[in-house]
Amino acid sequence: MNDLTLPRMHDRPSEASSVHCVKTTCPYCGTGCGVSAEVRSTPGQDNIIAISGDNQHPTNAGKLCSKGSHLAETLEPSARLLAPEVDGQTTDWKQALASAADRLQAIIDQHGPDAVAFYCSGQLLTEDYYVANKLIKGFIGTANIDTNSRLCMSSAVVGHKRAFGSDSVPACYEDLDLAEMVVLTGSNAAWCHPILFQRIRAAKAANPSRRLVVIDPRRTASCDEADLHLPLKPGTDAILFNGLLVWLVARNAHHADYIAQHTDQFDAAIDAARASAPTIEHVANACELAPDAVEQFYRWFAETPKTLTCFSQGINQSSSGSDKVNAIINVHLATGRIGLPGASPFSLTGQPNAMGGREVGGLANQLAAHMDLQNPAHHQLLSRFWDSDRVADKPGLKAVELFDAVAQGQVKAVWIMATNPVDSLPDADRVRSALEHCELVIVSDCMAATDTAATANIRFPAAAWGERDGTVTNAERCISRQRALQPLSGQARPDWWIICQMAQRLGFGEAFDFQHPAQIFREHARLSGYQNSPDALPRGFNISALAEIGDLAYENLTPTQWPVITTTKTDQPDTVPSQAVQQAWSGTARRFANGSFDTSSGRANFVAISPRPPAYQTDQQFPLVLNTGRLRDQWHTMTRTGLSPSLSGHRPEPQVEIHPRDAQRFALKPDGIARLRTRWGTMLARVAVSEGQQPGQIFVPMHWSDQFANEGRVCALVNPATDPLSGQPESKHTPVNIEPLASQWYGVLIRRDALGSTPLPVDYRVRIREHHGHRELLASTTAVQDWPAQAAAWLADGNEQDTDQWLSYDDHAAGLYRAARLRRGELQAVLYISPAPITFDTAWLSALLEPQALSLESRRALLSGQPPQGQTSCGATVCACFGVGRNTIVDAINEHSLDSAQAVGAMLKAGTNCGSCVPDIRALIEEAALPA
């Protein structure tokens, strides 16, 4: 690949205009749902007509969550990075690649390869990940490559490897249907993995005797279906599961034969468990739970052979996350519940290709194909396969320590791909400062405006979802295809292509002469089977049955779980892409059911767990515990989902959820603004008083960045402590203080066009995309003396005309001000100001931004703050999948006496897609039943 042309991915229909369907995979969470896209092709352009779930994909069978349902709204070209940039100047690929390679090579020559680092993402496709890992570990010669997957699942990796000998998830999604009891621990699956939670809900509906246990300090949406909720003290998970191990053994409820035949180190594990959790009373006291509730959980676990324990970030994101994972695995080993139908520990992965990144060695302490950096035999094997004498032989820097090394000047060049660490890493202000002072920062991204991209010297425009072609692996080890729906935008290129072009300019062209992602996939598959046999160096990950897959078969690859087993022998030359072949392989749904593991002994290992408290404890200065996590309708730092109006209506701004007792203690008012402060940073958030929080704890979502909010970056608050084994940050437990922001006024500004990053004299500012414009939520500690003058500046668009009309209402004594600007009778912008938080419904206002002259009634409504007579407002979004608002649901409940979520769904469709809004619907039904 010696030029800058990009090989064609696959042929498009040749008709002047035609509609075709493309099957691809959702780019959000690790569930890995199949997506069916209807695309209209015309010469030179492909337009997406509709997005729906793929009925034939085994993961979701046609269902999509709210984020997946609105993927088309995130493909807006105006937000894209469409050309390379060098030092802030737009250029072409030849100059950008040459500049990047020259600067990178100069740093390597002067300071050595360890002065260079890559920081990648679970958003990359496996083919992208493979060549990135091959370049830096295999040819540049440093293991300084890590990924934002470090932030979500690296503790699970450690747990799997310690117990099973390999990073293998033993379960599959079918187990959610088969389990007689599902334990959700550290997982709000109803919001974070809604398609999987829907399977849990459906299984319970089909058989009400099935149980759901939720272990979480918060009362989340997942608790809506729970038979038992254990709101344990944050950080005490290992004590709870150690206590379960002790309880099982004390009552002879463990599987002694399985332990003897298939495991090692049981005695050390039970001794450690007894030391930390000797009795139910001890566990209950340490976890701050009722003893009866603890015993009920233990009893249910013992009497339910088909128990599936699903864990996610609440377990992993801890300075002792690896131990928590092994405490869970220990109780499954003790009962022989590994890889059996409906019975396993099950890590619910955060990102769409976190698993694929693990397969190719995307973490700093791994080699490709599940090989170990510090295993000399694996190092030699990979050196032979890649024909390189430069393969890294020592672990590189994990995510948090990598950016510490940037701050210290140890790492002088960092290439960041498809992620936004300025907003997602802990101690995020330090990360920003480190990048701002780094000698060379290269950023590959599809989006033009991110907080990380603002620090870059060189920016590469990468392909976005809908333009990418390759594979991803989901949480159940299922490899699925992502396929291009549209041609590449502007000068955007796939990440694998950018990396290979850089490799050529660094002198490694022969090893990176890939013309198509299928070629990369074949090499990846061959490596997985290279000297991988029980007699040599057995490794759990093996897809070598796909090593000779042809281009056509790769294009048509159906979802397949690894390990992949050859079923028939077939010749399938790489050079015949059009050759039709019969599928010659099959996947493996579960692992380790036969009691044989990927360790040298073939036996699983118990791990002795001595629980440790979180790294930082509360004190008088920082008396509360900060917990962070996801919302239902947003993804990561909102670089894509923030573009979707449909996804912004449910929780439109950063909120701090706090128990009523703590709200009173810290003088916080509902809907007011709070300032949160930790040892590492500050942020502002809207106050949401919630009984779902435990006293002493607060919850803040992780999504907001400087692109969408002033001081809304919660990771600026998060402590940088990490698990010593996994390197995963402790994002669930940071001591924090909170106080009300002494706001003089609150405002809502709605405009047809966006103010963008125009500075405003405010403390609190949140920017929200609407269907017909843009909304900003404002608050300030500084009084405004002349609101008419201030409003004129905020409502102007720079094209004012003498015929523009201004409407205003000013009650200076009460601190109320409202103004609107019209052009030719059409609303351009409106501003509401109040001395108290504006809690009345403003959702209907954006509809008035449609290009139509306003009636007299609508003009009056602008100033009254109430919808025009005869017009109703749907209210805040409840069901984002179908755009159903709170008012619509409440009206239907009252008018038709609806008494169940199913009845609401039958009338309004709300809750009938991904089901994540069902708890909200039930709450509205209960509210309507209360006395007036």
- pLDDT at 44 (0 to 100): 66
Q: How confident is the model over 828-875, as pLDDT tens digits? A: 999 999 999 998 887 788 888 888 888 888 888 888 888 887 677 788
What are the DSSP calls for 90-148, one per residue? E--HHHHHHHHHHHHHHHHHHH-GGGEEEEE-TTS-HHHHHHHHIIIIIII----EEEG
67 and 97 fall within a common domain? no
SS3 track for 70-95 = CHHHHCCHHHECCCCEECCEECCHHH
Any domain includes 3: no
Query: Could you list the residue range(s) of the whole structural domain that residue 795 is in?
Result: 745-864
Whether 193 and 326 share a structural domain = yes
pLDDT attached to residue 534: 67
Of the chain, the percentage scoring pLDDT greater than 70 comes to 96
**For 680-702, how does the pLDDT look when each residue is reduced to its tens digit (9 = 90+)?**
999 999 999 999 999 999 999 99
In a domain, 594, yes or no: no
Is residue 718 included in any domain, yes or no?
yes
pLDDT at 10: 45
- pLDDT average, residue stretch 496-514: 97
| E-strand stretches of 216-365 | 228-230, 263-264, 307-311, 344-347
Q: What is the mean pLDDT of the chain?
A: 93
Provide mean pLDDT across the span 167-180.
98
Domain boundary among 517, 544, 567: 517
Residue 364 and residue 381 share a domain:
yes
Residues 66-93: pLDDT tens digits?
999 999 999 888 899 999 999 999 999 9
**Using an 8 Å Cβ cutoff, are 467 and 39 in contact?**
no
Which of 517, 532, 561 is the last residue in one of the domains?
A: 517
Q: Which residues of 282-295 are buried (b: 16+ CB within 10 A; e: fewer)?
A: bbbebbebeeebbb
* 905 touches 924 (CB < 8 A): no
Instruction: Indicate if 411 and 483 belong to the same structural domain.
Output: yes
- CB atoms under 10 Å from CB of 243, counted, come to 30
CB 169 within 8 A of CB 476: yes
What does the pLDDT average to over 519-523?
A: 98
Can you give the length of the chain in residues? 932
Can you give the CATH number for the domain in which 228 is found? 3.40.228.10
- Residue 687's pLDDT is 98
Residues 458 and 421 in one domain: yes
Task: State the average pLDDT over residues 299-307.
Answer: 98
Q: Is residue 543 part of a domain?
A: no
The residue among 927 and 334 whose pLDDT is bigger is: 334
For 437-468, what is each residue's pLDDT tens digit?
A: 999 999 999 999 999 999 999 999 999 999 99
pLDDT at 136 over 60: yes
Q: Is the pLDDT of residue 579 over 60?
A: no
- For residues 310 and 332, what is the distance between their CA atoms, to the nearest angstrom? 12
- β-strand partners of 279: none
What's the CATH code of the domain at 889?
Answer: 1.10.10.1100
Whether 533 is covered by a domain: the verdict is: no
- Write the CA distances from 655 to 191, 504, 598, 883, integer angstroms: 16, 47, 45, 22
Q: Is the pLDDT of residue 538 over 50?
A: yes
pLDDT of residue 159: 98
Decide if 459 contacts 81 (C-beta within 8 A).
yes
What's the number of domains the chain is made of?
6
642 inside domain: yes
- pLDDT higher than 80, residue 7: no
- Per-residue pLDDT of 550-576, as tens digits, reads 999 999 999 999 999 887 654 444 444
Predicted confidence at residue 577, as pLDDT, reads 40
What confidence score (pLDDT) does residue 876 get? 86
The model scores a pTM over 0.75: yes
The answer to whether residues 463 and 372 belong to one domain is yes
Q: How far apart are CA 136 and CA 701, in angstroms?
A: 34
Mean pLDDT for 129-152 is 97
Position 578 scores a pLDDT of: 37
Tell me: do 216 and 94 sit in the same domain: no
Answer whether residue 524 is part of any domain: no
pLDDT exceeds cutoff 80 at 5: no
My answer on whether 47 and 95 are in the same domain is no
Q: How many other CB atoms are there within 10 angstroms of residue 8's CB atom?
A: 9
Q: Mean per-residue pLDDT for 814-841?
A: 92
Q: Are residues 815 and 917 in the same domain?
A: no
Residue 654 scores a pLDDT above 80: yes
Do 364 and 334 sit in the same domain of this protein? Answer: no
Q: Which of 233-247, 578-592, 629-643, 792-806 has the lowest mean pLDDT?
A: 578-592
pLDDT of residue 873: 79
Q: For residue 74, give the CATH number of its domain.
A: 3.30.200.210
pLDDT at 11: 45
pLDDT classification of 165: cutoffs 50, 70, 90: very high
Residue 401 and residue 458 in one domain: yes
The candidate with the shortest Cα–Cα distance to 351, out of 341, 343, 362, is 362
**Cis amide leading into 611 (omega within 30):** no
Higher pLDDT, 471 or 578: 471
Q: Can you name the residues that pair with 374 across neighbouring β-strands?
A: none
d(CA 188, CA 335): 26
pLDDT interval class at 537 (50, 70, 90): low
In this predicted structure, the answer to whether residue 316 has a pLDDT above a threshold of 50 is: yes
Q: For residues 331 and 387, state if they share a domain.
A: no
Q: Which of 294, 324, 347 is the last residue of a domain?
A: 347
Query: Is residue 529, in this structure, part of any structural domain at all?
Result: no
Residue 725 sits in a domain whose CATH number is: 2.40.40.20
Region 913-925: what's the mean pLDDT? 91
